[in-house]
Structure 1
Amino acid sequence: MNHIRPRGWAGLAAALVLGLALPAAASPTSTPGHTGALDTAVSSTMQASAYCGIYWGSLAKSNGTVHTTGTVEDVRAGQHPCFDRLVVDVDDVPASMTYDVRYVDAVHEDGSGIVVPLAGAADLQIILRAPADASGAATYTPADPDRLVNVRDWATFRQVALAGNFEGQTTLGLGVRARLPFRVMVLDGPGDGARLVVDVAHRW
């Protein structure tokens, strides 16, 4: 026996199909190999939610090769909510002193080339073009060159070591937990000197 569908059912079915289709058409979708509105929205959200708003990256950072007559006086470090900070104080020098900071497979001692073993999963080499001596007399004499500051149990830093003072430049080795974003700044002070600041984020 054939069932005869009332004429109104066709209109109702069409309305239901149309009603179900509208929200899907109005919503952005993404398919493999296609960047749609949803992809853009997700990307923007990810950028906006970057850890502590940090976009430093982990590539090498350098600002020139000119050496300064100022001398290294101290190395210190501090912990901040989003990063660990290393500070190198240089006496009697303008804030234009130069540096080269980068991740390397291994930090080597100036002159001898001997590898400086560092704790942590990544080695950050810090070259400051300022000597740690004046007229042959050391201006910076740490008690333990292998551990310039105590960074035990810090979020990012694992070890800070002196890798040498050679031909007008000072090299430090910074062992960190992983290859993490970092930034480098030269700031005025204290006194008539300046300071090199290296911040390494706690995470990406």
Structure 2
Amino acid sequence: MKRFLAWVLAVLLSALFLVPASPAANAAPYCGITWGSLAKRDSGSAAGAALTGVRAGRHTCYDRLVLDVRGDVDGWDVRYVPVVHAEGSGKPVPVAGGADLQVVVRVPAYNASGRPTYTPANPSRLVNVSSFSTFEQVAFAGSFEGQTTIALGVRARLPFRVFVLDGPGSGSRLVIDVAHRW
């Protein structure tokens, strides 16, 4: 009986090694993207910096949002939220799409004298993203007490990454890439 049980156990164990792994387990991530969708932040702050522009671009595997800053971007917080709220008032800032990505950059959209450094022509549509794969709408949620919030409506809760690029000149850019799919 012991030999029979040992033989059955050996057959079962060898069968486990012969079963091919599922395709999902062996599948490479989409375009090599391994970013995830959890909140990302840098808790610094930028004295003397100011937001000067917002633009977007399409890439093969992701859509990109760029916030142009005069000075250094040292602090930001980007996360999915149920709804983005306006700076100062707390009013909801509705955006199209299946998920809302709140982009907070710790720089104002005004200078030390209180004059605007970034004045969008249409605060509810900062850039035209109508032909983008992932972005649905980009809206200005205001600037208050040294920070600026952008509401980014995306198709679904998808992986994203955030990083800062230096330049041009003494400026910098906060970059948010959102993948087209998982």
Q: TM-score, normalised by structure 1?
A: 0.78
1:72-96 residue CA offsets vs partner (Å, 9 max, x unmatched) = 0000000000000000000122x5x
Cα displacement (A) at 1:188: 0.2
Quote the residue 1:179 is aligned against. 157
**Higher Cα Rg, which structure:** 1
Counterparts of 1:50-89 in structure 2, within 5 Å, are 50-89=29-68
- Give the C-alpha shift of residue 69 in structure 1: 1.7
What is the Cα deviation at residue 29 of structure 1?
A: 4.6
Aligned counterparts, 1:48-127, within 5 A: 49-93=28-72, 97-127=74-104
User: 2: CA distance between counterparts of 1:106 and 1:44?
Assistant: 34
What residue is the counterpart of 1:155 in the other structure? 133
RMSD between aligned alpha carbons?
Answer: 2.0
Query: 1:67·1:169 contact (CA, 8 Å) conserved in 2?
Result: no
Q: How far apart in 2 are the matches of 1:108 and 1:116?
A: 6
**Secondary structure of the residue that 1:137 maps to in structure 2?**
coil
The residue type equivalent to 1:146 in the other structure is S
Q: Does 1:192 align with 2:162?
A: no
1:165 aligns with 2:143: yes
- Regions of 4+ moved over 3 Å: 24-27, 41-44
Shift of 1:164: 0.6
State the Cα distance separating 1:107 from its structure 2 match. Answer: 0.2
- CA-to-aligned-CA distance 1:127-179 (integer Å, 9 cap, x gap): 00000001110000110011000000310000000101000000000000000
Partner of 1:136: 114
Question: 8 Å contact 2:126–2:140 — kept in the other structure?
Answer: yes
Would the aligned equivalents of 2:45 and 2:107 in 1 still touch at CA under 8 Å?
no
* 8 Å Cα contact 1:68/1:129 also seen in 2: no
Gaps of 5+ in 1: 1-21, 31-37
Structure 2 spans left out of the alignment, 5+ residues:
1-10
